Amino acid sequence: MADPPLPPLPPLPDDDTATVERVARPEAPVAPPPSATRRHSKDAPESPRRRQWSAGHALVVCVLALAIGVLLNAPGIHKSAYNKSAGWEREVALAFTGPLADVSHALLLDRPRKGVQALIGRSDDDEIDTEIALPAPGTPTAARPGSKSPTTSPPRTPAKPKPPRKVAFSPQKKLRLWVAGDSLVITPGYAVVRAAGSSPAIESVGGVDGRVATGLTRPDIFNWFEQIRTRVKELRPRAVVLGFGGNDDKAYMTGLPEGVSIGDFGGSAWRREYARRVGGLMDMINKSGGFVVWIGLPQTNSPEQTSRFDVINAVAQQEARRREGRATFVDTYTMFAADDGGYTEFLPDGSGQLKKVRAGDGVHFEREGGDMIAREVLKALNRAYDLTSWRKKSTA
């Protein structure tokens, strides 16, 4: 049965520019189905004919392409399964993709993927790294870079060290600032970078290392402990703005020390292990001479999520308090509360104009919201360091 003709598309201008899309129009010449074979018909190079196939053929090609594609991509699919949230879906996915990766490897079908990865410098994309290397708790200046000290013992309250001397920075000797964290840190991070740009005594180094769907509970998805260790060594920042926890509100962690279990989310074992990770990161940065500004989690449009974020905030705030003078916690919960104390997407700015400060997803920040956080971060840096005395000296 002949298909009813489509009405013509609006006229397009004549042009000598031949295009990819243009050749893909429905009215392009097509050959009859394979049964009415014209296999060796004379195809002029400028008007090659393409063969139409049956719907069954389309289905077979789709199934085969996906099957071969799954084998070719088995290492990546296995990693994706590993990265899933804990639950039956992850168990099923791992049960399926583990053997699949083995078969792919045995048949050498993972070689093309590895070859392309090597070619573009991403050979470690499929590796699953869960090792957490942190300085020993309470000894922020004793641990050596690269030391691995996963421990099951509860973190001891570190001996309160003497707060560091308020170091002065100037346009000649700038405070090196780095920002890292999950997706919630991206918008505030860039706001901090913008704000830093207006201060002659601060220099942003390394931009904003914000990574979506990552956190401190799942080093298999992205190993922040390794990343921060490496980047701090490379960039030598004197101030590091961190923001984590948006994806950590679950009763599941990888990279646990041998024999440790964390129990339910928010329970004492969970808090202890999370505190070990948060505190360990702070110590790692302190050890290299950096001050930590930890951006807390805001309330969201979901009360349940907000209460889970409260747990994470409590841990981070406590760890920052334990390192007074070396770390500080920026409370975004109250900063973004409405008049009634609840969630709001809009807040008035300094001039009373209503601004959208939270993104439509009810979790992330808009640019204006990022600017509000950046102002608090700069205040914290000004408390920790002397960023203004150079002005007096230069005007004297």
Partner 1 sequence: MLFPTATFALFFLVVLPLSWLTMPWPHRWRAFIIVASYVFYAWWDWRFVLLLAGCTLWNQVLAVRIWRTRTPSQRRALLFLALAGNLAVLGYFKYYDFFVTSSDNLASLVGLDMPLEVKSIVLPVGISFYTFMAISYVVDAYRGDFEPTTLEKFAVYLSFFPHLVAGPIVRPAELIPQLETPRNPRRVDTSRAFYLIATGLFKKVVIANYLASSIVDEVFAAPGQHSSLEILIAVYAYAVQIYADFSGYTDIAIGIALLLGFSFPQNFDSPYAATSIQDFWRRWHMTLSRWLRDYVYIPLGGNRGRRPILTYRNLLLTMLIGGLWHGAAWTFVVWGGLHGAALAGERLWGERRGRAERPTTAWTRWRSRIVVFHFVCFAWIFFRADSFDAAWEMIGGLFTGWGEASPLVTGGVLLAILVGIGSQYLPARIPRLVMARFSRLPVLAQATVLAFALMLTSVMGPEGVAPFIYFQF
d(CA 97, CA 66): 14
Q: Are the CB atoms for 77 and 99 separated by under 8 Å?
A: no
Residue 350 contacts partner 1 per CB under 8 A: no
Residue that is written with structure tokens 């920042």 in the block: 237
Tell me the closest approach of the beta carbon of residue 211 to partner 1, in angstroms.
Answer: 9
How many beta carbons lie within 10 A of that of residue 317, not counting itself?
18
Compute the chain's Rg from CA coordinates.
Answer: 28
Residue 200 contacts partner 1 per CB under 8 A: no
Nearer to partner 1, 230 or 389 (CB): 230
Nearer to partner 1, 197 or 267 (CB): 197
d(CA 83, CA 219): 9
Tell me the closest approach of the beta carbon of residue 327 to partner 1, in angstroms.
Answer: 24
- Surface-to-core class of residue 380, CB atoms within 10 Å of its CB (0-12 exposed, 13-18 middle, 19+ buried): buried
Residue 353 contacts partner 1 per CB under 8 A: yes
The C-alpha torsion from 244 through 180 and 150 to 290, rounded to 10°, is -120
The single residue among 89, 102, 125, 127 that binds partner 1, judged by CB under 8 A, is 125
The single residue among 143, 198, 227, 332 that binds partner 1, judged by CB under 8 A, is 198
Tell me the closest approach of the beta carbon of residue 349 to partner 1, in angstroms.
Answer: 10
Count of chain residues binding partner 1 (CB under 8 A): 92
Tell me the closest approach of the beta carbon of residue 117 to partner 1, in angstroms.
Answer: 6
The single residue among 166, 213, 230, 257 that binds partner 1, judged by CB under 8 A, is 213
d(CA 319, CA 242): 13
Taking each helix axis as running N to C, give the angle between helix 88-106 and helix 55-72, from 0 to 180 degrees, rounded to the nearest 10.
Answer: 80
Taking each helix axis as running N to C, give the angle between helix 224-235 and helix 268-287, from 0 to 180 degrees, rounded to the nearest 10.
Answer: 20
The single residue among 178, 190, 224, 309 that binds partner 1, judged by CB under 8 A, is 190
Tell me the closest approach of the beta carbon of residue 119 to partner 1, in angstroms.
Answer: 9
The single residue among 133, 177, 186, 281 that binds partner 1, judged by CB under 8 A, is 186
Residue 226 contacts partner 1 per CB under 8 A: no
How many beta carbons lie within 10 A of that of residue 32, not counting itself?
12
Tell me the closest approach of the beta carbon of residue 139 to partner 1, in angstroms.
Answer: 35
Residue 344 contacts partner 1 per CB under 8 A: yes
Residue 107 contacts partner 1 per CB under 8 A: no
Tell me the closest approach of the beta carbon of residue 320 to partner 1, in angstroms.
Answer: 26
The single residue among 325, 333, 362, 375 that binds partner 1, judged by CB under 8 A, is 362
**Per-residue tokens: 326:** 């070396």
Tell me the closest approach of the beta carbon of residue 278 to partner 1, in angstroms.
Answer: 24
Residue 68 contacts partner 1 per CB under 8 A: yes
Strands 50-51 and 30-31, bridge-based pairing: parallel
The single residue among 13, 146, 259, 350 that binds partner 1, judged by CB under 8 A, is 13
Give the dihedral sign, CA 160/161/162/164: negative
**Which secondary-structure segment (H or E) carries 68?**
helix 55-72
The single residue among 87, 99, 112, 145 that binds partner 1, judged by CB under 8 A, is 112
Residue 354 contacts partner 1 per CB under 8 A: yes
For 362: left if phi > 0, alpha if psi spans -120 to 50, otherwise beta; the answer is left
Residue 9 contacts partner 1 per CB under 8 A: yes
The contact pattern for partner 1, residues 29-48, with x = CB under 8 A and - = no contact, is: -xx-x-x---x---x-xxxx
Tell me, what amino acid is at 30?
Answer: V
Beta bridge partners of 204: 177
For 236: left if phi > 0, alpha if psi spans -120 to 50, otherwise beta; the answer is left
Give Cα separations from 139 to 315, 329, 383 (angstroms).
Answer: 19, 21, 24
Q: Which of residues 364-383 bind partner 1 (CB under 8 A)?
A: 366-368
Tell me the closest approach of the beta carbon of residue 280 to partner 1, in angstroms.
Answer: 25
The contact pattern for partner 1, residues 294-313, with x = CB under 8 A and - = no contact, is: -------x------------
Only one of the segments 110-118, 170-178, 285-293, 377-385 lies at the binding site for partner 1 (rule: CB under 8 A); that segment is 110-118
Tell me the closest approach of the beta carbon of residue 238 to partner 1, in angstroms.
Answer: 18
**Which secondary-structure segment (H or E) carries 91?**
helix 88-106
